[in-house]
Homo-oligomer: A and B are copies of this chain.
Amino acid sequence: MDTVITKKKFNFFAGPAILPASVLKQATAATEDFAGMGLSILEISHRSKQFAAVMDESASLAKELLGLDDNFEVLFLTGGASSQFYMAPMNLLPSTGTACYVDTGTWSAKAIKEASMFGNVKVLASTKESNYTSIPKNYEIPSDATYLHLTSNNTVFGTQHESFPETNVPIVCDMSSDIFSRPIDVNKFGLIYAGAQKNMGPAGVTLVIVRKDMLNKVDRAIPTMLDYNTHIKKGSAFNTPPAFPIYVSMLTMRWVKENGGVAAMAAKNEEKAQLLYNEIDANPFFKGTTSVEDRSKMNVTFAMNDPKLEEVFFEACTAADCVGVKGHRSVGGFRASIYNAMPKEGVQTLVDVMKDFANKNG
């Protein structure tokens, strides 16, 4: 394992995904020695005062970055968004209640499947027939729905909710791939969940933000570990939490804060996305794969007008140290994930590869 780092690659993986260089440096230091304890962060008690401080700061940072008041509880769980697909309805949806879902892709569809085990599920709108290339709009939301479930950003297809519906129904939202990427009006949301491994940290921890008035409306038996109340009462330490993934997420949230918070992230993300979409639209070899108005600022999906050239272009990306731009295996084409931690320089490098490709092959 005596590898030598020659040059840092530009990491366009969709997730687990790029983390800020300064975060990785601190994470590396903590695996050697954490907080001057003479021990690695990987081998200390989660009940030590040094680690308790990490748990506290993580929750505080999430609250501060998103502007959450005391109506919200912040939890750090495991099992990914895939576990929230069933935990959300299990905890929030009475068996006689109705949960409304909008189907915007792979992850929405999975959430819908799990929810139907717990109550009535109504799919208000879906763009499945057009292969999820856009976000449904102008659907009616029944005012008596228990909640409205949305997937804010669709990693696979490269679409994103530019805004959220105006409704009095609390929104339950899978924000796995765009959490902390922009300001949100938190008062619209009853539950927000996000697997960390896109914009927040490494794989292994799931952020869950729940508005307290959403809870205690179901009467089904819930295993202790699956009850949000358990983790609220115990500050996400009912059992041993995923300590290191939480620590790295805390470092990443600190980085977001130090770099101007979510508003500054949004401005930078907007700029990076425009740079890349402009090239996709201008370059005769490439085309976008989604509706222009629903384009994701996190996962930029595109294809080539001549699919036979895709392999050659992918090799050009690799040669320019742009890693992970292959489209999701269920979609094909290309996907450049340009989360918070991706520097503009990385996007510019990819754009240069595209320009260069056009010049050479034009």
> Residues of A with Cβ closer than 8 Å to B?
1, 3, 5-9, 11, 13-19, 24, 26-33, 35-40, 42-48, 78-83, 85-86, 90, 110, 113-114, 117, 195, 197, 201-205, 221, 223-226, 238-245, 248, 321, 323-324, 329
Contacts and interface: CB of A to CB of B under 8 A. Distances in A.
A360 B207 CA distance: 52
A172 to B, nearest CB: 16
9 contacts: A3-B29, A16-B45, A43-B202, A83-B239, A86-B224, A113-B224, A203-B240, A203-B241, A203-B244
* A contact face: mostly helix, strand, loop, or mixed: loop
A37 B24 contact: no
Contacts of A29: 1, 3
- Residue picked from A15, A28, A40, A201, most chain B C-beta under 10 Å: A40
A236 to B, nearest CB: 12
4 nearest A-B pairs in the assembled complex, by CB-CB distance:
A204-B242, A78-B78, A86-B223, A82-B239
A37 B195 CA distance: 24
B14 A78 contact: no
Nearest to A30: B1
Nearest to A244: B202
Contact of A38 (B5, B16, B24, B48): B5
Contacts of A240: 15-16, 80, 195, 197, 203
A82 B3 contact: no
Contacts of A39: 9, 11, 323
A31 B31 contact: yes
Nearest to A28: B31
A32 to B, nearest CB: 5
Nearest to A2: B29
A85 B225 contact: yes
Contact of A225 (B86, B224, B329): B86
A86 to B, nearest CB: 4
Contact of A242 (B30, B32, B113, B245): B245
A262 to B, nearest CB: 21
Contacts of A24: 31-32, 40, 42-43
- Residue picked from A1, A223, A239, most chain B C-beta under 10 Å: A223
Contacts of A46: 16, 203
Given A19-B40, A240-B80, A45 B14 contact: yes
A117 B324 CA distance: 45
A309 to B, nearest CB: 24
Contacts of A90: 223
A327 to B, nearest CB: 13
A273 to B, nearest CB: 20
B204 A244 contact: yes
B38 A225 contact: no
